[in-house]
Amino acid sequence: MEPLGDCYRIPIRGAMSEKRTDLLRGTLDLLVLKALSLEPLHGVGISRRIKQMTMGAFQVSFGSLFPSLHRMEERGWVEAEWRTSENNRRAKYYRLTSLGRAQLKVEERDWNHVVKVMKAAVQSA
Amino acid sequence: MPRRIVSLFRNLLRKHTVEQALDDELQSSVEILAQEKMKDGLSRTVALRQALIELGGVEQVKEEVRAIRVGRFLENFVRNLRLALRTMAKTPSFTAVVILTLALGIGANTTIFAMVSRFVLHTAPVGDPPTLFTLHTTDHNQCCNNFSWPLFTDVRDNAKSFSGVAGFYELLPASISGSGDPQRLWGQAASTNFFDVTQLGMTLGRGFRSDEQNSPVIVLGDRVWKSRFSSDPNILGKSIALSGHPYTVIGVAPPYFRGIDLILDTQFWVPIGNIDQLLPNTGHFDWRNYHWIAVAARLKPGVSRAEAAAELQLLSQRFAQAHPDTEKNLGFHFDRAGSLPPRDKSVILVFLSTLMLVVFLVLLIACANVGNLFLARAAGRQHEIAVRIALGATRGQLLRQVLTESVLFSLIGGLFGVLISVWATGGLSTFRFPVPVTLDLNVGIDYKVLLFTFLLSLATGVLFGLLPAWTAAWGSPSTALKGEDVLASPGRFWTLRNLLVVAQISMSLVLLCVTGLCLRSLRSASSISIGFRSSGVLAMSIDPRLHSYTPERTVQFLIELQRRCSVVPGVSSAAATDALPLSGGHRSDGFQAVGKKPLDPTPIVELYMASPGYLDTLGIHLLNGRDFSNESASSPRVAIVNQVFADTFFPHENPLGQSVSSGGITYEIIGVTNNIKSRFLGEDLRPVLFRSLPQTVASDPSFEGYTILARTAADSTSVATSVRSVIRDMDPTLAVFNKQTMEHHVREALFLPRLAGTLFAVFGTVGLLLAAIGLYGVMNHTVSLRIREIAIRMALGAQASSVLRHFLRRGLQLTAIALAIGLPAAFVIAKLFNSILYGIKPNDAITFVSIPLFLAFVTLLASYIPARSATKLDPMTALRYE
């Protein structure tokens, strides 16, 4: 598999520690929802947007991104439709639903909470 | 989550569309990525390649997406199920053996559980069963007796824990009119609140009103309404004849209700005030020391069982003070309605739990067997499994797959098991107790039994599937990939398979020993000397009392009937009596010899009425003295006793001319006979006293009617018709019941040994077969694993006999260990059977020597056959054998 340099690799399902995966999978959901909050994007577009948003620190593997997207679709957080892309190619575009927007708010709040708590914990030592 | 359910159906039902959409999406993603790269100046080919690399492989991503879809689990399950079905179809003989084995094991458990469910788990067929209780009195805390009428009314009027207390006489015989020959039925005489306390919904009409205690009204059981009154919907208000008295039908009970308990077969109910009319000459119904009434009580809402018991405890102390002569040590016993009769409960429970234990053993043997078969097959699939693990299948996935298969096997086995037990319970229901009362002992399959079987099958599947699954998934893949058998563990004796075989053989030993004991018991029971000749004797019963006969008329009728029967062609002699011996106990009373020191404790003597010619007809030998002749009711009482009676009361003396007394009546002994079995076949001999029938009918009438006996030389069925018509000629309204030959009656008396013998013979044979198949399978497998080694040895000059000896030794070692474990266990379990064994001890030497030898022989045979076939192989073929 392609070595990913020094950027973070979001672990795929079935990795050694389930707990850790859950935390990071939640993070991925948040990033995807955030990426879609401005405009509908296709899979590759989402990947690029996340890279851009995180200033190149996170590069999501497609093996994690697509399952995440499909799960969110099954849950009704995003909707998909086939459109023609800027390069005149057909692509499946994902768009946030109102449910997805609500979920984004929840995830953002949770994340902020985690960051605050973690920061306090790390600084306390 | 409706959206996810929609997704589930889409994923499962429109799989193709979903897959196609995913494929399109990934292909378009690859294109987009490739175009990005082509903008950087790469050629299309290189760009496409790089795009695929960045995506991480189309198929890999697809697999990741599939893994998160809703319904993935179900999909996997269906796939495992398909795989299992395919494997089953591929090896039909293996499948058949496994399913048959499991079906036998599970079927045996289902059958016995059906008995448990019928007799132990069932609740009374009444409204709101948990709050209905049956009450019994105790004396010195000794269980259990019925209530006297005054005690019943005292409890009814004083106990505040109950919303209603009903009393009923449980076994009221009556002849009933309607279509066909008159028929004698068993009903109950109940207090007027009976149907309110039991909270029964009637099929037709109503229960008793509180002002009907002495009214001639009747509630019919469903069966008699259907059979004798052809389900007449307008029967309410009609008058029917009950033992010759007119009764008005006011209701029909629902079909499931045949009394509060689950054993009696009650077919009608009348108010309790009618009992004097229906049971004339019985009297004493209002005595405080005459315990005849059964009691059921409904707990008030909000009152706990403990509170009710405490109140009854207080009441019993109050009654004891008020009536010190009759109720000094009174106590009450409390039971959920519909439980087994308290006096017989423990015996029945022991019998049923021993049976449960035994069938569980059968199932364990079956499990060990099937587990072994699966192990052997898993050995053949190790290579496949190792390859799958190497390719990335997780152990959980493999485990799930093997378990799906084993559970599928066990569920199908369970299904066949239910079929077996439907047949078996049908057979069990044909066993009859040799008692004059009609009982409802039908055993069937209900939902509890089905649930039990389902859970048992599931557990069985997991149990025997887990072992092979475990070894398959945790065996070392590297060994298996090299083509070696991971389970073979060369040089180790205690392999899993050997352990299973040892367990199997020792369990079979326990089972076979118990079987052997029961069969020997059955044999000795059927050769027990009963003291009378049962062949060629015909019996049928009538109850003239139910037809308002006075005692005098009853005696006249019986004597005349005997006279007419004795001249029927084909009849050599005839006699009248009250009840037949071997009916589980009829009349008995304490006796003392007159003019001697009273014996302590007072001996209990079995009582039978006999007309002149009774001894001849039944083939009982008069050892001394004379038979009855023409005693009249008013002449001094005379009696004939058996040898045990004579030995008990008059050791070293001539009993003839001596007097004995009981209940204020003195009898002069005029004859002594050989001993007969009175209540049961297996009993120790009891003292028996035959009373003159004409002298006894008035003072101590039989509750169960009178029986006419005819000894026939010819075909007894044709004689039966003639005897029946003699009765019809004398009184066409008389109901005739219990028509049977004595031979049939004695066969019924073998009920318990026959039931136990039959059950265990079946279970024992099944267990033995399974164990033999198991050992054969293991030996066969061991031999096949070492076939090359055998070939090399033989090519190098080893004798066939030494090879054979080697394998026989292996088999014998296993058997010896199994016997060492199984024999002590069998000893312990056999002790439990003591109460149902006839004429043999639970440590019966013949059983405990012959069964292990027999088992050793069978196991030796099971190891000999595969070993011999191995030595017969051509070494060159065997060397190339894979």
Does residue A59 sit at the B interface (CB-CB below 8 Å)? no
Rounded average pLDDT over B264-287: 83
**Pairwise CB contact (< 8 Å): A91 & B32:** yes
Q: Indicate the DSSP class of residue B711.
A: E
Q: Are B127 and B200 in contact (CB under 8 A)?
A: yes
Interatomic CA distance for residues B541 and B737, integer angstroms = 5
The residue whose two tokens read 């919303």 is B163
Q: With contacts defined as CB-CB under 8 Å, which chain B residues touch A79?
A: none
Cα–Cα distance for residue pair B716/B701, rounded to 1 Å: 29
Q: Which residues of A touch B31 (CB under 8 A)?
A: 89
Phi first, then psi, for residue B28 (nearest 5°) are: -65, -35
- Pairing of β B659-662 and β B592-593: antiparallel
Residue B130 DSSP one-character state: G
Neighbouring CB atoms inside 10 A of B801's CB total 9
Give me the mean pLDDT over the B23-50 stretch: 87
Residue A58 DSSP one-character state: B
The Cα–Cα gap between B352 and B350 comes to 6
Q: What pLDDT, on a 0 to 100 scale, did the predictor assign at position B327?
A: 82
With a CB cutoff of 8 Å and minimum separation 6, the contacts of B470 are B399
Q: What is the bridge-based pairing of β-strands B217-220 and B162-176? A: unpaired
SS (H, E, C) B182-227: CEEEEEEEECCCHHHHCCCCCCEECCCCCCCCCCCEEEECHHHHHH
| Closest by Cβ to B65, choosing from A1, A70, A89 | A70
Contact present, B557 and B730 (Cβ < 8 Å): yes
Q: Quick one: B339 exposed, middle or buried, by C-beta within 10 A (0-12, 13-18, 19+)?
A: middle
As a whole number of angstroms, the distance between CA B682 and CA B750 comes to: 9
Q: What is the distance between the alpha carbons of residues B676 and B582, in angstroms, rounded to a whole number?
A: 9
Instruction: Tell me the average pLDDT across A39-67.
Output: 85
Asked whether residue B480 carries a pLDDT value surpassing 80, the answer given is no
pLDDT higher than threshold 60 for residue A11: no
Helix axes B92-116, B345-390, angle to 10 degrees: 150
d(CA B585, CA B679): 5
Residue with tokens 């398959």: B472
In percent, the amount of chain B with pLDDT more than 70 equals: 94
Residues of chain A positioned with their CB less than 8 A from the CB of B22: 70
Pairing relation of β-strands B162-176 and B142-145?
A: unpaired
Which pLDDT score is estimated for A21?
39
How many beta-carbon pairs under 8 angstroms link A with B? 67
Parallel, antiparallel or unpaired: strands B245-252 and B204-205: antiparallel
| Cβ–Cβ contact A56 with B under 8 A | no
- B interface mutation test: which of A66, A90, A97 has the most B CBs within 10 A? A66
Q: Is the Cβ–Cβ distance between B606 and B592 less than 8 Å? A: no
Choose the weakest-confidence range: A75-84, B264-273, B415-424, B834-843: B834-843
Under 8 Å between Cβ of B161 and B300: yes
| Cα–Cα dist B387/B573, whole Å | 86
Q: Chain B partners of A92 at a C-beta cutoff of 8 Å?
A: 21, 24-25, 28
Q: Which of A43, A61, A74 sits opposite B56 (nearest CB)?
A: A61
Beta bridge partners of B165: B297
Here the ipTM equals 0.77
Amino acid at position B882, single letter: E
| Section B6-28 average pLDDT | 80
pLDDT at B110: 93
Q: In chain B, pLDDT over 90 holds for what percent of residues?
A: 26
Asked if the Cβ–Cβ distance from A87 to B65 is below 8 Å, we say: no
Is the Cβ pair A62, B70 closer than 8 Å?
no
The mean pLDDT value of chain B amounts to 84
Q: Do the beta carbons of residue B337 and residue B132 sit within 8 Å?
A: yes
The values of phi and psi at residue B583, to 5°, are: -110, 20
Highest mean pLDDT among A13-27, B290-304, B386-400: B290-304
Using pLDDT thresholds of 50, 70 and 90, give the confidence band for residue B760.
confident
Name B266's Cβ contacts closer than 8 Å, sequence gap at least 6. B170, B186, B187, B188, B221, B258, B259
In this complex, the residue of A42, A63, A91 whose CB is nearest that of residue B56 is A63
A62 contacts B65? CB cut-off 8 A: no
Q: Does A4 touch chain B (CB under 8 A)?
A: no
Cα–Cα distance between B782 and B441 in angstroms, integer? 49
Tell me chain A's radius of gyration from C-alpha atoms: 15
Q: How do B268-271 and B183-190 pair as beta strands?
A: parallel
**Residue contact B25–A63, C-beta within 8 A:** no
> How is residue B523 written in tokens?
């044999």
Instruction: Give the span between the Cα atoms of A93 and B816, in whole angstroms.
Output: 74
The winner for highest mean pLDDT among B40-44, B167-171, B866-870 is B167-171
Query: How does DSSP classify residue A115?
Result: H
**Contact yes or no for B403/B470 (Cβ under 8 A):** no
Chain B residues touching residue A74 (CB < 8 angstroms)? 3-4, 7, 69-70
pLDDT band at B353 (very low <50, low <70, confident <90, very high): confident
Is residue B753 a contact partner of residue B431, using CB atoms and an 8 Å limit? no
Across residues B380-394, what is the average pLDDT? 74
Q: Is A21 on the interface with B (CB under 8 A)?
A: no
CA–CA dist A43, A38 (Å, integer) = 15
- Topology of A18-124 in CATH? Arc Repressor Mutant, subunit A (1.10.10)
User: Tokens for A106?
Assistant: 């929840």
Residues B523-543 have a mean pLDDT of 85
CB neighbours (10 Å) of residue B420? 17
Region A28-32: mean pLDDT is 87
How many C-beta atoms lie closer than 10 Å to residue B636's C-beta? 10
Tokens of B873: 């192989």
Q: pLDDT band at B456, cuts 50/70/90?
A: very high
Could you say which of A2, A42, A71 has the minimum Cβ distance to residue B53? A2
Q: What is the pLDDT of residues B389-431, one digit of tens each?
A: 777 777 777 788 888 888 999 999 999 999 999 998 888 887 7
Q: Is the pLDDT of residue A121 over 50?
A: yes
Partners of B7 on chain A (C-beta within 8 Å) are 74
Helix (H, G, I), strand (E, B) or coil at B138: strand
CB contact under 8 A, B61 and A63: yes
Q: Which tens digit of pLDDT belongs to each residue from B565-578?
A: 999 888 999 999 99
Report the alpha-carbon distance of residue B505 to residue B509 in Å, rounded: 6
- Tell me the helices (H) and strands (E) count for chain B, helix number first: 28, 23
H helix or E strand, kind and range, residue B368: helix B345-390
Longest dimension (CA), chain B: 136
Residue A25, chain B, CB below 8 Å: the answer is no
Q: Which sequence spans correspond to the domains of chain B?
A: 2-70, 75-122+346-487, 129-337, 501-530+742-882, 544-734
Whose CA is closest to B132, among B218, B199, B45? B199
- Give residue-wise pLDDT tens across range B791-805: 788 888 888 888 888
The gap from C-alpha B213 to its chain's centroid, in whole angstroms, comes to 39
Higher-pLDDT residue of B284, A100: A100
- Please answer whether residues B352 and B123 qualify as being in contact, where contact means their C-beta atoms are separated by less than 8 angstroms: no
The C-alpha atoms of residue B228 and residue B178 are separated, in whole angstroms, by 5
Count of residues in chain B? 882
Contact B54 A62 (CB under 8 A): yes
How far is A107 from A95, CA to CA, in rounded Å?
17
| Cβ separation A62–B55 shorter than 8 A | yes
For residue A43, list chain B residues with Cβ-Cβ distance below 8 A.
25, 29
Report pLDDT digits (tens) over B144-198.
Answer: 788 989 999 999 999 999 999 999 998 888 888 777 777 888 899 999 999 999 9
In chain A, which among 78-117 make CB contacts under 8 A with chain B? 85, 87, 89-92
Which residues, in sequence order, are CB contacts of B448 under 8 Å at separation 6+? B117, B121
Smallest Cβ distance to B28: which of A61, A76, A89?
A89
**Which residue in chain B has the smallest CA separation from A85?**
B32
| Per-residue exposure over B184-201, b if at least 16 CB sit within 10 Å of its own CB, e if not | bbbbbbbbbbbbbbbebe
The segment with the largest mean pLDDT, out of A29-38, B641-650, B753-762, is B641-650
* CB contact (8 A) between residue A89 and residue B31: yes
| Cβ atoms of residues B648 and B687 within 8 Å | yes
Q: Is the pLDDT of residue B666 over 50?
A: yes
Task: Tell whether A11 lies on the interface with B, counting CB pairs under 8 A.
Answer: no
Q: Reply yes or no on whether the pLDDT at A16 is more than 50.
A: no
What is the structure's pLDDT at B492?
57
Residues of B with CB under 8 A from a CB of A: 1, 3-4, 7, 21-22, 24-26, 28-29, 31-33, 35-36, 53-56, 60-61, 64-65, 67-70
pLDDT of residue A15: 36
Interatomic CA distance for residues B813 and B856, integer angstroms: 10
Beta-ladder partners of B164: B298
**Higher pLDDT residue, B124 or B708?**
B708
Show residues of chain B in contact with A90, CB under 8 Å: 28
User: Does the structure show a pLDDT above 50 at A17?
Assistant: no
